[in-house]
Amino acid sequence: MLTLLLSLAAASQGCQPVVQDLIAGQHFDVGDVTISNTGDTLRIDVELSARAVHHRHATIYAVHIYAGFGPPPTNHGGNVAPGQFPYKTDYPNGTTAHTELIALSDFGAECGDTIQIAVHAEVSCDSHPDETAWMFGNNPFGGGQWGWWLDYDLCCTSNASGDMDLGLSDLCIGRNCAVTVTSAQPGEVVYLFRNEELILLGSGYTEPAFNGTMMDLTGSLTLLRSKAADANGTAQMNIRLPASIAPGTIFGFQAVAVRAGVPAGISEAHYAVAVYDSLGL
């Protein structure tokens, strides 16, 4: 079994995501790229938009992402080469959204640093097949190549906010295993959900019980467990996924705790996300 684990803790208040247009064919706004980070993870969400009137029924077939210090890599001709970007995902059947979670330790970054990001996508639609799309940024490519890369300031999350981390060491198919949520507030109730759909930043299911908090999990949700955190702010829960799960299933896991006392009296849900892609079971 090949298991891929990615984890993300919620950004504290004041760390606002950066949203940039995704431009296809040099001129057409076909969607958005949303960039955010926590103390140890960079998150990049690429999503096509229904407003893309010139690219109806658009589909993404590949995403290439560069994140690091300095401009993105170029080939011998001096052109930016997305094929050399370190984070690459192909979608043979197409998709309308992609989420990339990158550990800042991959390239030695930490909060307060300014890093450089470039996002490239291969996009097709009814009237414009096989288009190149780039995230708009403040640095245009040189020479005759079109496109951009972006300077992004890594936001510093506050340790005092108690942003949670979710850990799951195995996929737990057909057997019990432990899920551990740390950095919760002592005594608060932590709720653990899962889905089998896309994870989109602030675009998922709205949970009425959490004062309308917009979660990142989309589609149908299953509440797996809830437990009060101990005196150290740790909540450990046992879960079991059905043995009938099909190979290639993508899972989203999100832990939520509701906290009162934020501005406007709206409770704030802190969360963590883990995505598992199980292949070859």
User: What share of the chain in percent tops pLDDT 70?
Assistant: 68
Does residue 192 register a pLDDT over 50?
Answer: yes
Residues of the chain with CATH 2.20.130.20: 159-277
pLDDT higher than 70, residue 223: yes
Q: Which residue has the higher pLDDT, 258 or 97?
A: 97
Residue 171 and residue 102: Cα distance in Å, rounded?
20
The alpha carbon dihedral of 214, 64, 80, 128 has a sign of: negative
- Over residues 126-136, the mean pLDDT reads 82
pTM over 0.85: no
**CATH architecture assignment, domain 17-153:** Sandwich (2.60)
Residue 68, pLDDT score: 95
CATH code of the region 159-277: 2.20.130.20
29 or 220, which is more confident: 29
Average pLDDT, the chain: 75
**pLDDT at position 13, please?**
38
Percent of the chain with pLDDT over 90: 21
Give start-end residues of each CATH 2.60.40 domain in the chain: 17-153
User: What average pLDDT does this structure show over 153-168?
Assistant: 63
